[in-house]
Amino acid sequence: MAAGSSGVRAQVIVIAGPSGSGKSRLAERTGLPVLRLDDFYKDGDDPSLPRIAEGQANAGLVDWDDPASWLQDDAVAALTTLCREGAVDVPVYEIAANGRTGWQHLDLAGASYFVADGIFAAEIVPRVREAGLLADALCLRQHPAVTFWRRLTRDLREHRKPPLVLLKRGVALMRGQRAVVAHAVDLGCRPVGNAEALDEVAALVAGVRA
């Protein structure tokens, strides 16, 4: 379904991938409006947050890598409004503050495409595809060692969590990275490198892709 039909003003390009794979940077480089799906995390005091099982690294702490820590329905609702109305108010989530700190207005300004990126981006692909809102779904793939280093340096720089927690989490995520990509593919994403993804988005926007 093309943008402009059946009340759809714009379609979304979903950018998924493991933490540290470069999703946010790629989204910015596309030059398109960006819906940050990570802003739909639950607040840190939400009693429904999942916990890491005993016997694992960081046992007992909130499992921020579990989709249950994220408000998928709210994210899909905001995305749907953006596709159909061209603008929507979205939350601003600060990891260091452990919750939402405000709201911002996202306006597509007439753009026919926008990007939605986030750690759980792949989870929404079946729903937005069925609704006719999906232009493409890409999953970034990098060598696990590369994503480990990028994630660790970013999280330390932004003081997201205590260093030891970040290190243990990073090792666990590195070990599970291939499973994350495989899961995204199962949900309908195409695995691509970062440079390839940027080219794919540019071609789609330019209308030269089938």
Domain segments of the chain as ranges: 11-206
Domain 11-206, what fold? Rossmann fold (3.40.50)
Does pLDDT of 165 surpass 60? yes
The pLDDT of residue 71 is 96
Quickly state the pLDDT bin for 98 (edges 50, 70, 90).
confident
Close Cβ partners of 188 (under 8 Å, ≥ 6 residues apart): 122, 125, 126, 129, 137
- What's at 37, amino acid-wise? L
Task: Output the CA torsion 65→147→17→79 (10° steps).
Answer: 70
Q: For the residues 187-200, what does the mean pLDDT come to?
A: 93
Q: What is the pTM of this model?
A: 0.80
Angle at 209 between CA 204 and CA 210, to 5 degrees: 125
Token pair of 19 as six digits: 């933490």
pLDDT at residue 149 above 70? no
- Amino acid 145: pLDDT: 60
Q: What is the C-alpha separation between 100 and 70, in angstroms, rounded?
A: 12
